[in-house]
Each structure stands twice: as C-alpha cells, then as structure tokens.
Amino acid sequence: MHIAILGGSGQMGQECIVQAHHRGWTVTALIRRSGSLDHLIPLGENTIHQIIGDATNPHDVALAIKDADAVVHVVSVPLFHPKPTTLYSRTTQAVIDARPHTQAKHYVVMSSAGTHHARQALPRGIRQAYEYLLGDVADDKEREEALLEQSLLPWTLIKSPFLIP
C-alpha cells in the first residue's frame, strides 16, 4: 500500500507516517519545510518520501499523490493562526483538482475541528471561547465539507476531538 499524506509534518501527519511504517506501507508526505521529517526517515529510508510543497497547490498535490493508493489530508493550522483561514477548503479543492493525476481509491480527511452543529451543542461560555479561537477554522471546515459532498471522490471524513497516539 502506498499512501500520500498531505500535512505530514504535523502531529497527526507524523503519527500517520509511523502507523503506516508499522504496517509496511510506503508513504509520500507533502510538507512545507525541508527537514521536518528527518527524525522519521530512519524508520524507513526507502519507504518514507518527502515532497516539499504547498498542499493548496494542485500541482504540488499531484506530485505527492501520483502513485498513491490512498490520500490522507491532515493539513491543519495552529491554535493561534492568522485569521481567517481557508487552508482546509483550499487543500480539499487542490486534491479534487489533482485527482486526474492519481489512481488512488481512498481519500481520507482527518479533523478535530467542530462545524456548526458541533459548536451549537457547546455550553455558552465554551462556545464563545471556541468561536474566538477556532470559529474561522470551523467555518472553513464547513466549506470543506460542502466540497466533499459535491465531489464524486470516495471520501472518508474522520472527526475526532482528541487524537492520541
């Protein structure tokens, strides 16, 4: 199995790489900064490949996913990030646009951000803090989910508030 991980240098991406390695899979990770996965390369010098690029650029995404059986999107922003963000929806659109360049059969989006329905269930004070810190993220995740629904690709959306290795 060969998987492409978009956002491979983040916490979720690194954990996905480690888990894929334990299963004997080959990984191509699209990352922003050279060297951000160097500590993982000894796990599998021939099975972990890095591509430096932008997950919102369909050309860079196409390079990362061209030989993949599965595409895993774990791109995220830090808690304190420039606002508003459109990173999630732009990454998903880049995957959709790059689709003709791969034969991948599985597309996975992992997320820990709550969208509108999840925000409404929070107690008022917590909801206000959430809106202040991550409201723009949740808004963009809603845009992303609309793209997923409109796409003909076989998406799996994983929403987990806590991802603990």
Per-residue pLDDT tens listing for the chain (165 residues): 999 999 999 888 999 999 999 999 999 999 999 888 888 877 777 889 999 999 999 999 999 999 999 999 999 888 888 899 999 999 999 999 999 988 899 999 987 666 666 777 888 998 888 888 888 988 898 899 899 999 988 999 887 765 555
In a domain? residue 21: yes
Range of the domain at 98: 2-159
**Residue 44's CATH number:** 3.40.50.720
In a domain? residue 164: no
For the chain, what is the domain count? 1
DSSP string across 24-82? T-EEEEEESSTTTTTTTGGG-TTTEEEEES-TT-HHHHHHHHTT-SEEEE-----SS--
pTM exceeds 0.75, yes or no: yes
In a domain? residue 118: yes
In a domain? residue 67: yes
In a domain? residue 165: no
